[in-house]
């Protein structure tokens, strides 16, 4: 689905599919350089990070392993509930492993702050975060993010895995959702 398929639902397009793919290739190069000669496990956060994780992984020119977690702090609304729940845990033992958490967006920072601490307690060699988008103005928790695609304003965005009530995930671009859709 393209932005042209839902023109009345978007205020504007922030990033096109081409821009997203280009930035993910750049992030993959950064990560590959930092982990040269090391085994790497990337952990995608379901469901939003599916697109980011898949395209980031395909941008690597080396072997890596992937696993998934599902955590929630949103429910079906547009604001974080403040409570983090694990819905699906890792299948992989991360003890002694280099782990990069891959997410599509950091909003308040609550989920990734909690998740980073949770994974760090499992004695990995390292844990870093890679996110396509970050909202610095919305952060309420300190989160050290090593790899950031873009910083964006504190607006409700959809597309490329980001949803509103499970819609818009398959939008190829990322755009600001029109308030009339969610108010």
Catalytic residue among 9, 55, 103, 107: 107
For 173, half-sphere exposure in the C-beta direction (CA atoms, 13 angstrom radius) is 17
Task: Give the SS3 label for residue 35.
Answer: coil
Distance of alpha carbon 115 from alpha carbon 85, whole angstroms = 10
Full DSSP string of 106-121: ESSSHHHHHHHHHHHT
Q: Is 103 among the residues known to form the active site? A: no
Residue 107's nearest CA partner among 145, 65, 138 is 138
Distance of alpha carbon 129 from alpha carbon 144, whole angstroms = 7
* Sheet strands side by side (includes 85-88): 85-88, 65-72, 40-46, 98-106, 126-134, 147-151
CB 50 within 8 A of CB 44: yes
Sign of CA dihedral 12, 135, 28, 103: negative
List the catalytic residues: 107
């Amino acid at each position: 689905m393209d932005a042209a398929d839902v023109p009345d639902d978007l205020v504007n397009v922030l990033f096109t599919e081409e821009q997203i793919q280009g930035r993910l290739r750049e992030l993959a190069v950064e990560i590959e350089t930092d982990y040269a000669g090391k085994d790497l496990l990337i952990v995608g956060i379901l469901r939003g990070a599916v697109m980011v994780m898949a395209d980031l992984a395909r941008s690597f020119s080396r072997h890596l392993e992937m696993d998934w977690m599902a955590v929630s702090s949103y429910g079906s609304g547009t604001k974080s509930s403040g409570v983090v729940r694990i819905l699906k845990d890792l299948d992989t033992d991360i003890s002694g492993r280099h782990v990069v958490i891959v997410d599509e967006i950091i909003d308040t920072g609550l989920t990734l702050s909690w998740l980073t601490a949770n994974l760090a307690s499992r004695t990995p060699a390292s844990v870093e975060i890679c996110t396509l988008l970050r909202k610095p103005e919305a952060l309420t928790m300190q989160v050290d993010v090593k790899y950031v695609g873009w910083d964006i304003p504190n607006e409700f965005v959809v597309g490329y895995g980001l949803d509103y009530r499970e819609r818009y995930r398959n939008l190829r671009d990322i755009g600001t959702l029109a308030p009339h859709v969610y108010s």
